[in-house]
Structure 1
């Protein structure tokens, strides 16, 4: 009952201010003030004020808000721990892909599906010597990335 009275008084005061503003020939501002001042009465008439005041003064509602806050805090804590030291899905996927790729030797060719004579390697001998150096460069890139992240 008190909340409804306060809302009605606020609306009446707002409409008074809107009337004074309109008297000063500032009609756009007066219309805007009148619109804002009608909102509290509309909330009272729809029952929103009674609903909100019922929520605010119930201890069980505040316990529910507390439980929601604890749940949110737990979610954020686990996210922070996961970002700080835990492995992410991307890291696990990359590790899985790396373990599958390491099963094949770096210089090995893919198996031939034809039953005839194998096609000789068209690369010159110098290219074969560069292959191990390139794989070493790959590892140096990985080492640089790990050093960058402090691992």
Structure 2
């Protein structure tokens, strides 16, 4: 009841100020003041003021705000600790991904790179030397691309 009375008084004062402003031939400003001054009455008529007053004076609502504040404080604390430790979320994600890749096939690239780099029995023949050199060059290009991307 008190909140509704205060809102009505504020609206009446605003309409009075708007009337004085309109008397001074500042109609645009007077219209804006009148619009702002009618907002509290509109809130009273829709029941918003009663709802807000009911929430503001309940201890359970304030306890809820306290819990929300505590959770925000915990989030900010963990972020600060994470920043000081130097590891970012992206670094941890990359480390986990690298660990998973090694677990799937830890030495999968070693045979393919070793076979292309090491000369086989076909390289010993003089006529086949160019054919054996071509796959080695291909693998070295692929190896360079993989090293460039950190794989």
Same fold (TM over 0.5): yes
1:83-98 superposed matches below 5 A: 83-85=83-85, 87-95=87-95, 97=98
C-alpha displacement of 1:109 = 3.5
> Which residue number in structure 2 is paired with residue 71 of structure 1?
71
> Which residue number in structure 2 is paired with residue 120 of structure 1?
133
> Which residue number in structure 2 is paired with residue 11 of structure 1?
11
Alignment partner of 1:120: what SS?
Answer: helix
Using the alignment, how far apart are the partners of 1:60 and 1:27 within structure 2? Answer: 47
> Which residue number in structure 1 is paired with residue 37 of structure 2?
37
Of 5-14 and 76-85, more deviation after overlay is shown by 76-85
Of 57-66 and 81-90, more deviation after overlay is shown by 81-90
> Structure 2 length normalisation: TM-score?
0.66
Give a deviation string over 1:23-69, Cα, whole Å, max 9, x none: 11100000000000000000000001111111111111101100110
C-alpha displacement of 1:8 = 0.4
Q: Which 4+ runs in 1 deviate beyond 6 A?
A: none
- Does the C-alpha gap of structure 1 residues 93 and 20 become closer, same or farther in structure 2, counting only changes over 3 Å? closer
Q: Which runs of 5+ in 1 are unaligned?
A: 124-130, 139-151
> Structure 1 length normalisation: TM-score?
0.66
Q: Which runs of 5+ in 2 are unaligned?
A: 123-130, 138-143
> Which residue number in structure 1 is paired with residue 81 of structure 2?
81
Count how many residue pairs are aligned between Structure 1 and Structure 2.
121
- Does the C-alpha gap of structure 1 residues 97 and 25 become closer, same or farther in structure 2, counting only changes over 3 Å? same
> Which residue number in structure 1 is paired with residue 126 of structure 2?
none
- Aligned-residue Cα RMSD (Å) equals 3.2
Using the alignment, how far apart are the partners of 2:78 and 2:57 within structure 1? Answer: 33
C-alpha displacement of 1:97 = 3.9
Using the alignment, how far apart are the partners of 2:34 and 2:115 within structure 1? Answer: 82
Alignment partner of 2:132: what SS?
Answer: coil
Of 90-99 and 43-52, more deviation after overlay is shown by 90-99
